[in-house]
Amino acid sequence: MASLDDKLARLRTILLDLQSTVVAFSGGVDSTFVLKAAVDALGAANVIAATGRSPSVPELELGEAQSLAKSVGASHVFLDTDEFTNDNYLSNPTNRCYFCKTTLYSHLRRLTDERGFKSIINGINADDLGDFRPGIDAAKENRVGSPLADAGLTKSEIREASRRLGLPTFDKPASPCLSSRVQYGERITPDKLRRIESAERFLHEMGIRECRVRHHDDIARIEVAPQFLALLAEPETAARIDRNFRSLGYHYVTLDLRGFRSGSMNEVIPLGIR
């Protein structure tokens, strides 16, 4: 089995072969690490960090992405994507992510061509290849490389490598787009996403760093790590959350007793489709 150092050496070789690249940059653990690795391998002049901007991305995440790109010495641009004009995306099918990523990558391709860059890469890692991720199909169709996955780097290895490099994202919780909180089949709207963003911000301000507010029409289903379940169930705390969420438009506020788990919305998708 290859060691972490072996995989990092492989990653550097993959990146050097690219010559120049545009990084699909969200500011998360994976995209920050691959951006840093690309800058180190190719030089800052040959790397651009590009962040898609739309109602599905929290404002806080956009600001963090800009700061992170600057901290690793990369040029950074925002691209205003237009997935909210695509009814295939708005109808929220189980492969919604495919339509979102297809839109993003089309914008990245235009940027790449305009700047004369050679390639586009993303932050997909080796663990992602075993998950239900329709966006991976969009990456393949649009010739977007996944050097972390190609090097065999797993999420835990990327966190460790990020820690070694002093990247502040080494222990950052995952933060997928806000649309991933809306139950499949329920139409995506900017208003719903703003509601979800506000609800999760309220929980963050309570000191709960990793959480999800799953949107089921007029029901908010809260997922937090098991150690926070008792806190949220305390009468006073529960009442505060209930008041806040109702003020956002939810009629019912529930606490998922199974706790936080990434991709819980996919649990309703038949195994054959996943």
Give the residue from 134, 149, 171 where a domain finishes: 171
Quote the percentage of the chain above a pLDDT of 90. Answer: 89
Average pLDDT, integer, range 99-116: 96
Judgement on whether residues 18 and 148 belong to the same structural domain of the protein: yes
Judgement on whether residues 141 and 26 belong to the same structural domain of the protein: yes
Single out the residue of 180, 197, 254 nearest to residue 222, CA to CA.
Answer: 254
Number of folded domains that form the chain: 2
Average pLDDT, integer, range 58-64: 93
Judgement on whether residues 217 and 155 belong to the same structural domain of the protein: no
Total number of residues shown for the chain:
274
User: Token pair for residue 233?
Assistant: 């169930």
E-assigned strand segments in 148-258: 211-216, 219-224, 252-255
- The pLDDT of residue 186 is above 60: yes
Give the residue from 113, 137, 171 where a domain finishes: 171
pLDDT tens by residue, 83-95: 999 999 999 999 9
Give the residue from 171, 189, 220 where a domain finishes: 171
DSSP string, 234-254: SHHHHHHHHHHHHHTT-SEEE
In the sheet where 21-24 sits, what is the strand order?
75-80, 47-53, 21-24, 119-121
77 or 267, which is more confident: 77
3-state secondary structure of 182: strand
Average pLDDT, integer, range 30-53: 98
Judgement on whether residues 158 and 91 belong to the same structural domain of the protein: yes
3-state secondary structure of 2: coil
Q: What pLDDT does residue 79 have? A: 97
pLDDT tens by residue, 139-185: 999 999 999 999 999 999 999 999 999 999 999 998 889 999 999 99
User: Taking all residues of the chain, what is their mean pLDDT, rounded to a whole number?
Assistant: 94
Q: What pLDDT does residue 131 have? A: 76
Q: Would you place residue 1 in the very low, low, confident or very high pLDDT band (cuts 50, 70, 90)?
A: confident
Cα-Cα-Cα-Cα dihedral of 17, 19, 25, 27, to 10°? 80
Judgement on whether residues 121 and 90 belong to the same structural domain of the protein: yes
Report the Cα–Cα distance between both ends of the chain, in Å, rounded: 28
Domain containing 193: what range? 179-268
- The pLDDT of residue 270 is above 60: no
β-partners of residue 78 are 51
